[in-house]
Every structure is written in C-alpha cells, then in structure tokens.
Structure 1
Amino acid sequence: MIAFVEGIVEEVAIDQVVLNVNGIGYRVFVSGTTAYSMQAGSRERLHTHQHVREDGIVLFGFKTRQERDLFVRLLNVSGIGPKGALAVVGSAPIADVVAAIQEERIDFLKKLPGIGQKTAQRMILELKDKLDDLRLPGFDGISEHAQAGFARGDSELFDALLALGYNEKEARGVVRALAKEIEDGIPLESLIKQALQLLARK
C-alpha cells in the first residue's frame, strides 16, 4: 500500500497530476480543487489511497490525511464509487462534510456533487458514528461561509461560463472544482478567471 507520494509536479490536469519521484512518474487522480492548487515544477506531497480495480491499480491523492481518510470511508457507502467520493472530498471543507453527516444535515449533503436524497441518508446511516477522529478540535458546526455558499448556489459562475460558450458539462465540472472558492465568497470576476485557467488546462 502506497501511503503517500512526494516529488516534483510534472503535469497538471483538471482531475490528475503526475509526480516525478526519483525519475518515476506517478499519475495520481485528485479533486479539481487540489489540481488547481498545484503548479508544474513545485515539490508536493500527496497522501494516497491505492485503489485496485479490474483494469489496473489507481492512485488517488489528497493534501491532508483527513481528506484521504474521509475518501476511504465514503467508499464504504453503497452507491458512492471512487469518482463520487473524490468529488465530495474536493467540494467542501472536510470539517463541514463531517459535521453535516454527524448533524444529519441532509439538505447540505444533497448539494454535494453526485449526492441525492437516498445517498445522503445512507451516508448518515453508515458514517454518523464513525467520523469522530476526523472532526477538528474546536469545530462547532458547518461554517457560515459554507452555508452561505450553498444557499446562494453556484448559478452565477455557471451562467457566466455558458455565456462564454462552454457547454453545461464543462461548466458544471469547473463549478465543482471551485466549490471552496465559491463558498469563501470570492468575487465572480476572480472566479471566472480561475475557471478559465482550469478550462485551458484540459
């Protein structure tokens, strides 16, 4: 089992990076938020989960151990696969997701990418009592930024990208990748600039 990979970033795409570790290139799948935070030429460490499937072995990478551990536990929820778990981990702060599960905030969970009513209920049922070690000290609930970001929705950025000629699939993917920035209330103009940078990498 590969616990982490540390090396020089050789390539960055919207959902993956290649790390050069002593001359060996490791392709690691990451969330859009993580990909955006990394630059070619920088030295990075990713905590990894090694996922075995029929067509090969895949590495999923995360900036923190907490992100990786939540990802692994989400895989145990019926209806959530690796891509879905990665989208959830990359769409909101870990503390907010953990709090939503423990506090049975179904409305919050349903706004995470790929999570519907039934899946949100399964997340609560299967994980509510298994996440105490991921709850950060001093954290008292879902952040105001997160609540405000989800409440207002992501329509402004989505609509702006459509107006610029991108299709719905491309727009949704970038909105998910910038979920944290949207929650933090970054101005629309800055969000559009970041979105265009992500789209240019595809």
Structure 2
Amino acid sequence: MIAYIRGKIAEITDQAVYVEANGVGYELICPNPFRFQNKLGQTDKIYTYHHVREDAQILYGFEKNEEKTLFAKILNVSGIGPKGALAVLASTGVQDFVMAIEQENEKFLTGFPGVGKKTARQMILDLKGKLPFDYTVEEVNVKQETGNNDALEEAIEALKALGYSDREINQIKPKLKQEKQQEADGYIRKGLALMMK
C-alpha cells in the first residue's frame, strides 16, 4: 500500500493532481484538485489510497490523512463506490460529515450527488459510532448548533449569483466557515477577497 507521495506538483486538472517524485509522474485522483493550486511547482506531501479493481489500479490523493481515512470508511458502505466517496469529500469536511452521521442527519447526507434516502440510512447504519475521529457527541451537538449559519449560506448563494461555480466556492468554503461574521455581507467580502488570490 502506498501511504503517501512526496514530490513536486507538476500539473492540476479538473479531476487529478500530477505529482513528480524521483522521476516518476503519479496521477492522483482528488476530491478537489484545485486545493493544491497554490502549491503548483512546489514539493508537497499527498496522502494516497491505492484502489485496485479487476480492470484498473487507481491512486486517490488527499490533502489530509483524516480525509483519506474517511474515504476508506465510506467505501465500506454498501452501494457506495470511489466516485460517490469522492463526491462526499469534495462537498464537505470530515468534521461536518461526522456530525451528520452521529446526529443521523439524513437531510445533510442526501445533499450529496447520488445519495438518496436509502443510501443515507445505510451510511448511518454502517458508520455511526465507527468513525475513528476525536469528535464526541457533545462536541458534535455544539458544533452543529454553531454550524447552522444562515449568513454564510446567504453569502454562498450570493457568490453563485455573481457567477462563481460550485467548485470555486467549495475551495474557499472551509476558510469562510472559520470567519466569525454576523452578516452575509462580511462573508461575501471575505469570499470575494479569497477568490482574487
């Protein structure tokens, strides 16, 4: 098993990051390859999951080890393959996903591409209490209360109206979530500043 690759980020596409290590170029399929945009041409460490099928061997790449761990756990859910697991990680953070599983938040889970109610229930059944992350139920409750941020959601809708794609918005969403803004305007200004970087 290849645990990670450290090398120069040589190229980024819509689906993958190409990393050159010791003269070998590795194609790593990533949830959001453009997270690595600011490291293009630089050396970086990318955690990898080596997926073997009868007809292919594919390397999946992740910025953080916990994302790789969650990817592997989601793959164990009946009815979800690598494409579905990638879509989850492209759309949300590890912490938010754990919150949804522990709180049995089907509405949150059915927001992912290709996840209906049946699959959401299967996710909860297979993963609740089994995810190896340091989030207790108490922490999850607190974080969920503070995570229902109407101002942030309003700002995201405004950014979409301004013509920014879901992919672009997903890139900056983690940074926006760290902001402590009371009004949507504050998030919008911060979002536009991040888009310009």
Describe the shift of the 1:179–1:91 C-alpha distance in structure 2 as closer, same or farther (beyond 3 A). farther
TM score, norm. by length of structure 2:
0.77
Offset from partner CA, 1:151-184 (integer Å, 9 cap, x none) = 836432322227xxxxxxxx34444444434544
Quote the residue 2:174 is aligned against.
Answer: 180
In the TM superposition, 1:40-189 aligns within 5 A as 40-131=40-131, 133-136=132-135, 140-141=139-140, 142-143=143-144, 146-148=147-149, 152=153, 154-161=156-163, 171-181=165-175, 183-184=177-178, 187-188=187-188
Counting matched residue pairs gives: 187
Q: Is the 8 A contact 2:151 2:187 kept in 1?
A: no
The percentage of aligned residue pairs carrying the same residue is: 32
- Tell me the distance in 2 between the aligned counterparts of 1:146 and 1:37: 26
Q: Is the 8 A contact 1:5 1:46 kept in 2?
A: yes
- Tell me the distance in 2 between the aligned counterparts of 1:16 and 1:28: 5
Q: CA shift at 1:89, angstroms?
A: 1.8
Is there any run of 5+ residues in structure 1 with no aligned partner, and where?
163-170, 198-202
Offset from partner CA, 1:29-81 (integer Å, 9 cap, x none) = 1122x532442111111111111234421111112221111101111223322
Describe the shift of the 1:42–1:184 C-alpha distance in structure 2 as closer, same or farther (beyond 3 A). same
Q: CA RMSD in A?
A: 3.0
SS in 1 for 2:129: coil
- Tell me the distance in 2 between the aligned counterparts of 1:4 and 1:149: 38
SS in 2 for 1:20: strand
Q: Is the 8 A contact 2:102 2:137 kept in 1?
A: no
- Tell me the distance in 1 between the aligned counterparts of 2:98 and 2:113: 15
Q: Is the 8 A contact 2:152 2:187 kept in 1?
A: no
Q: Is the 8 A contact 2:10 2:19 kept in 1?
A: yes
Max radius of gyration: which structure? 2
- Tell me the distance in 2 between the aligned counterparts of 1:117 and 1:12: 34
Quote the residue 2:34 is aligned against.
Answer: 35
